[in-house]
Amino acid sequence: MKELEELFLPDDVHYTETHEWVRDEEETVVVGVGDYAQDQLGDIVFVELPGIGDTFEKGEEFGTLESVKAVSEIYLPVAGKIVAINEALSEEPELVNQEPYNSGWMVEIEPDDPDEIQTLMTSSEYMEMLKGAE
């Protein structure tokens, strides 16, 4: 497992306490799990995602990640409607491990309140949270 200093935490996304990230794409937001989460889980072997058009409240479970170690729930960082899912993950779940912020994204949503993203942590705030959890 990686040391905290080895984690890749891009500044263009916001983070949750449950290790999901959100990238603002103007009309929509893209959601995935961060480097810390994928590293803790180990090799991802299956990803379960919702359907397009499904709606969720902030903090609601929207899918699961299955790794060689465990099954872990993933939670939506902001309320909204699913407008796209990463179909590639059904054939290549390992993309979550390889590129969690790029090809390993999970869903794209139309947020109910775009300003809700600002309530999430910046990369530096997220790192401070991780350091406090050690």
Residue 93 forms part of a structural domain: yes
pLDDT digit string, tens, across residues 85-107: 999 999 999 999 999 999 999 99
Using pLDDT thresholds of 50, 70 and 90, give the confidence band for residue 71: very high
The answer to whether the CB of 104 falls within 8 A of the CB of 10 is no
Residue 48 forms part of a structural domain: yes
Residue 1 forms part of a structural domain: no
Strands 61-67 and 20-24: unpaired
Chain centre distance of CA 16: 9
Residue 2 forms part of a structural domain: no
What is the tally of structural domains in the chain? Answer: 1
* Prediction pTM value: 0.95
Burial of residue 89 (number of CB atoms within 10 Å: 0-12, 13-18, 19+): buried
Give the separation between CA 33 and CA 17, rounded to whole angstroms.
11
pLDDT, residue 134, reads: 64
